[in-house]
């Protein structure tokens, strides 16, 4: 799915649509990608002369990839984080990097969904987390 196709599912819009593309691989794995251009709003002031993608933005990118996995279940709903556990940042993500997320659902209960994900830059782990969110 490209950005326009993602907009058919996700409620996010620019500047908060934070994945460029996503694809489903099997029933329980979504792979999302984002290329950091350098002019993004979240890099302004983080940090002058040394821009680094904030960790919370990386978690949002991962969460949007998870929502792409749910497809039509997300359509027309608000997706709200309810938790982030075991979040680890292993390397900086900077302009020019393409971060690739691999996300899988680990369970659900009512409107709540549980997932785990990892983000890689050049094949090296940059971020990992367990996420939970609600569809309302």
Query: Domain extents for the chain?
Result: 3-135
pLDDT at 100 over 90: yes
Catalytic residue among 46, 73, 77, 118: 46
What average pLDDT does the segment 88-115 reach?
97
92 — pLDDT class (breaks 50, 70, 90): very high
The pLDDT score that the predictor gives to residue 71 is 87
- CATH number for the region 3-135 comes to 3.10.129.10
- Residue 46 bears catalytic tag: yes
Could you tell me which residues come within 8 angstroms of residue 77 by beta carbon, excluding any fewer than 6 positions away? 11, 135, 136
**pLDDT surpasses 90 at 26:** no
CA distance 26 to 11: 23
Q: What is the pTM of this model?
A: 0.95
Peptide bond into 17 cis (omega under 30): no
Instruction: Check whether 52 has a pLDDT greater than 90.
Output: yes
Q: How much is the pLDDT for 10?
A: 92
């Amino acid at each position: 799915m490209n950005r326009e196709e993602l907009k058919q599912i996700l409620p996010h819009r620019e500047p908060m649509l934070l994945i460029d593309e996503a694809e489903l691989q099997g029933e329980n794995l979504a792979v999302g990608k984002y290329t950091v251009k350098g002019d993004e709003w979240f890099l302004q002031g983080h940090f002058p002369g040394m821009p680094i993608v904030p960790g919370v933005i990386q978690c949002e990118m991962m969460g949007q990839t998870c929502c792409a996995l749910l497809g039509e279940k997300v359509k027309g709903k608000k997706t709200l984080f309810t938790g982030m556990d075991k979040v680890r940042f292993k390397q900086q993500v900077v302009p020019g990097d393409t971060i690739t997320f691999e996300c899988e659902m680990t369970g659900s209960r009512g409107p709540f969904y549980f997932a785990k994900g990892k983000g890689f830059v050049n094949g090296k782990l940059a971020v990992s987390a367990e996420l939970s969110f609600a569809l309302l």
